[in-house]
């Protein structure tokens, strides 16, 4: 599985030399909440609702004391907005009460926050604290499986474990962002641009699109 990793990372470096998160944020808690909200929706959609949310509730204290209906109204255009609205308020309250109003650096602490799972915790640790982490979302999972870095039936945690073994630690964060961009803009689930991809010969995609 790892024999092609240098070819893959070199190609990613050429396509996306300087990529990062597409979520917009100004503070540590804004990023945390944005990542939590991004589950099962797009970064573009999240940026639209967080612009409204963080304009209406300008501080962590205001979010902690927000009316649930007003938060729902701000984020109602994204999926699971009722549950996510509860999580927004609960996260703000827990950050104030348990973590001195700061996003914690330790994964075990992040995982105590409502709506924060392994992927979200990894994204936050990598983005805020520059800790080498590989967060596996749908794009990273799909790309890893298509390029033979993981098996088709692997869970996100299994994909992450395999990537950690074959990717240099110093490249964890960049690979995460590059794989997301590759999956989002180049190797999409339904219409991959196989016809112009330099990795097509090692790709496991069953229905390769060899013509535009």
**Cβ atoms of 144 and 134 closer than 8 Å:** no
Element (H, E) at 55: helix 43-56
Question: Is 82 one of the annotated active-site residues of the chain?
Answer: no
Residue 188 three-state SS: coil
Question: In angstroms, what CA-CA distances link 161 with 90, 106, 128, 149, 173?
Answer: 30, 19, 22, 11, 15
Question: Is 154 one of the annotated active-site residues of the chain?
Answer: no
DSSP category for residue 105: S
Residues 6 or more apart whose Cβ sits within 8 Å of residue 206:
none
- In angstroms, the CA 202 to CA 179 distance is 16
Give burial (CB, 10 Å; 0-12/13-18/19+) of 191: exposed
Q: Which of 26, 137, 153, 208 is catalytic?
A: 137
- In angstroms, the CA 179 to CA 40 distance is 17
Q: Which of 119, 130, 153, 162 is catalytic?
A: 119
Q: What tokens appear for 182 in the block?
A: 């590759």
- In angstroms, the CA 110 to CA 112 distance is 5
Catalytic residues: 119, 137
């Amino acid at each position: 599985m790892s024999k092609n990793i240098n070819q893959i990372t070199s190609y990613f470096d050429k396509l996306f030399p300087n990529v990062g998160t597409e979520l917009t944020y100004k503070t540590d808690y804004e990023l945390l909440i944005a990542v939590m909200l991004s589950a099962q929706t797009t970064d573009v959609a999240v940026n639209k609702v967080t612009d409204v949310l963080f304009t209406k509730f300008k501080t962590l204290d205001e979010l902690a004391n927000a009316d649930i209906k007003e938060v729902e109204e701000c984020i109602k255009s994204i999926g699971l907005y009722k549950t996510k609205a509860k999580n927004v308020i609960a996260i703000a309250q827990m950050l104030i009460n348990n973590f001195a109003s700061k996003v914690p650096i330790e994964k075990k602490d992040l995982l105590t926050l409502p709506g924060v799972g392994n992927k979200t915790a990894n994204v936050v640790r990598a983005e805020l604290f520059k800790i080498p982490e590989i967060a596996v979302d749908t794009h990273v999972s799909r790309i890893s499986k298509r390029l033979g870095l993981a098996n088709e039936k692997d869970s996100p945690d299994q994909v992450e474990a395999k990537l950690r073994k074959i990717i240099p630690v110093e490249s964890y964060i960049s690979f995460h962002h590059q794989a997301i961009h590759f999956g989002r803009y180049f190797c999409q689930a339904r219409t991959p641009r196989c016809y112009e991809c330099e990795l097509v010969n090692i790709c496991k995609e069953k229905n390769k699109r060899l013509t535009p």
